Structure 1
Amino acid sequence: MPGGVVAHELRENVVCFAADALPPEPPGGAVPVTGTDLTLTSADGTAFSAFEADAPTPSGAGVVILPDVRGLFAFYTRLAERFAGVGIDAVSIDYFGRTAGTGHRDKDFEYGPHVAQTTPDGVAADVDAAVRRLRERGRVTSIFTVGFCFGGSNSFLQAARPDLAGVIGFYGGMRPRVENGPTPITRAPQAKVPVLGLFGGADQSIPAEKVEEFGAALAPTGVEYTLHTYPGAPHSFFDRSHEEYAKECADAWTRMLAFVNDHTGKSTA
């Protein structure tokens, strides 16, 4: 299989959101922001698509948003604008510049074959390009990654980067994405920055014992970490259309913003 992707993990590439889904509003709302498309270049020379949204009043914090398996589609451009609207510069990235070229992804994009060709190193290189973009503009002092599902797993893997201020993952899976590749659990002993993990208690793709194992692997590192599970919430609960999980969405925003605020200015870079 291209990229050595583990077959059972491909079956777990859950589509997190409907194509027309919208991210939940932060508690108290966000200032309206309109972001812009851009093309970034990874260290291996790959051009890939991204979306940038600048905070009208910068707080010093920036986030790199790692989407689910479908890459850069509307949910994640809107999410970047929501972050900017609460004072946090944001760059959302696409994963598939190496195999599908540039461009936004829509509901007709056949993401499976392209996900199968991603690697943790490739994703990390693209994250690095987004981090450079945020840093070089001089608007931020502290950068975080925020990922969802596939992106959540990859966000957790970035915890080994000392130049970040912290990493956040929503329902990031704990199995390898490539054969013999790293997982959040196996990479945890290398963690150097704080970790925030948010999970759904009814998410059958991420058993509670795996979340506990992740925490046990982080504990000896001495990094600050919080792994919070919302009882009864499904995979991909962070979605405005899931009105029954509005409280969970609001709490997730509150936790994220507190995490970012608490660690802004504390990056070792």
Structure 2
Amino acid sequence: MKITEHQTQQATGGFAPAVAPVASTTRHTDDHDLHTSETTIPTQGENMPAYLARPAAASGPLPVVLVVQEIFGVHEHIRDLCRRLAKEGYLAIAPELYFRQGDPQEYATIDELFSKLVSKVPDQQVLADLDHTAHWATRHGGEANRLAITGFCWGGRIAWLYAAHNPQLKAAAAWYGKLVGEKSLNQPKHPVDIAVDLNAPVLGLYGGQDSGIPQDTVETMRQAIRAANATAEIVVYPDAGHAFNADYRPSFNQEAADDGWQRMLAWFKQYGMAGTG
């Protein structure tokens, strides 16, 4: 069932309709001392929408963090994460990576969103769009040699792939991204297949109770990392499920989310990506 943009904004306050109702634990990060905006990025002959957040008073180039959406697109939760990163001194930018295939705000259920939109988005297209996003950021206040990526759920998988794709990347943090799966034309490889190709250090954050990402697949990824002698660390929170950082959903686990966030910031700092805040 498709719904109108007006209905979406009324019902969800900027959150994807497929996850309504929004939980009472939802966090809101203000934009005080920040510059935030909706913008567009030229990529592969088209203009891709994106959300940008950065410190307003920055005196020089900022370290850049690419923020990769969940299955639900760049809705209010992803924008809020960008603002949180900006508060830490980063230029954080979240591109709308489904924009050619459709609008996730038009779908009322997760199953419909996945089958009619997300499954049609090719990895190759996403990686190229992220390259253009990184390039755009360096021309709009970002520092070219300080680039990181973080992604959540669908974006967690992409964060792993991008760490093997872009040799300029300094660090990555993948939140509960799928590690193995069936291969297709749109998804020819999964993180377990590219462990040997990782260019940047990757921090993986996973829930021990995540039924969609079983612990045996996490262990398979650990083995692939060891075999490749790659710089990566996987942290599992035993009591957390999938989407434990998604404060707008019942899956939110504050202890795991807060610890994961601090680990991510420390990981970035360890690999030359300290924020200016």
TM-score normalised by length of structure 1: 0.81
Query: Which amino acid in 2 is paired with 1:74?
Result: E
Contact preservation (8 Å) 2:63, 2:91: yes
Aligned-partner Cα distance in 2 for 1:87–1:172: 25
Aligned-partner Cα distance in 2 for 1:93–1:80: 11
Which residue of 240, 260, 266 corresponds with 1:258? 266
Query: Which amino acid in 1 is paired with 2:52?
Result: E
Which residue of 103, 128, 133 corresponds with 1:130? 133
Query: Which amino acid in 2 is paired with 1:47?
Result: N
Aligned-partner Cα distance in 2 for 1:106–1:32: 33
* Structure 2 counterpart of 1:143: 147
Ranges in structure 2 where 5+ consecutive residues have no aligned partner: 1-16
Query: Which amino acid in 2 is paired with 1:260?
Result: F
Contact preservation (8 Å) 2:176, 2:206: yes
Aligned-partner Cα distance in 2 for 1:19–1:247: 22
Closer, same or farther in 2 for the Cα pair 1:77/1:30, shift >3 Å?
closer
Contact preservation (8 Å) 1:200, 1:231: yes
Matched, 1:174 2:176: no
* Structure 2 counterpart of 1:48: 48
Equivalenced residue count is 247
* Structure 1 counterpart of 2:242: 235
Which residue of 153, 160, 166 corresponds with 1:156? 160
Matched, 1:61 2:81: no
Aligned-partner Cα distance in 2 for 1:106–1:84: 29
* Structure 2 counterpart of 1:4: none
Q: CA deviation at 1:37?
A: 0.4
Percent same amino acid at aligned positions?
24
Q: Which moved more, 1:17-26 or 1:89-98?
A: 17-26
* Structure 1 counterpart of 2:120: 117
Query: Which amino acid in 1 is paired with 2:98?
Result: F
* Structure 2 counterpart of 1:5: none
Closer, same or farther in 2 for the Cα pair 1:221/1:16, shift >3 Å?
farther
Closer, same or farther in 2 for the Cα pair 1:127/1:66, shift >3 Å?
same
* Structure 1 counterpart of 2:5: none
Instruction: Find the residue that maps to 1:142 and give its secondary structure.
Output: strand
Which residue of 210, 215, 224 corresponds with 1:208? 215
Closer, same or farther in 2 for the Cα pair 1:75/1:106, shift >3 Å?
farther
Ranges in structure 1 where 5+ consecutive residues have no aligned partner: 1-14
Query: Which amino acid in 2 is paired with 1:78?
Result: D
Q: CA deviation at 1:111?
A: 2.9
Instruction: Find the residue that maps to 2:55 and give its secondary structure.
Output: coil
Q: CA deviation at 1:128?
A: 0.9
Query: Which amino acid in 2 is paired with 1:223?
Result: A
Q: CA deviation at 1:25?
A: 7.6
Closer, same or farther in 2 for the Cα pair 1:188/1:132, shift >3 Å?
same
Q: Give the superposed CA RMSD.
A: 3.0
* Structure 2 counterpart of 1:245: 253
Matched, 1:165 2:167: no
Query: Which amino acid in 2 is paired with 1:129?
Result: H
Q: Per chain length, whose mean CA-contact separation is higher, i.e. which structure has more relative contact order (CA < 8 Å, sep 6+)?
A: 1
Contact preservation (8 Å) 1:69, 1:151: yes
* Structure 2 counterpart of 1:192: 199
Closer, same or farther in 2 for the Cα pair 1:213/1:92, shift >3 Å?
same
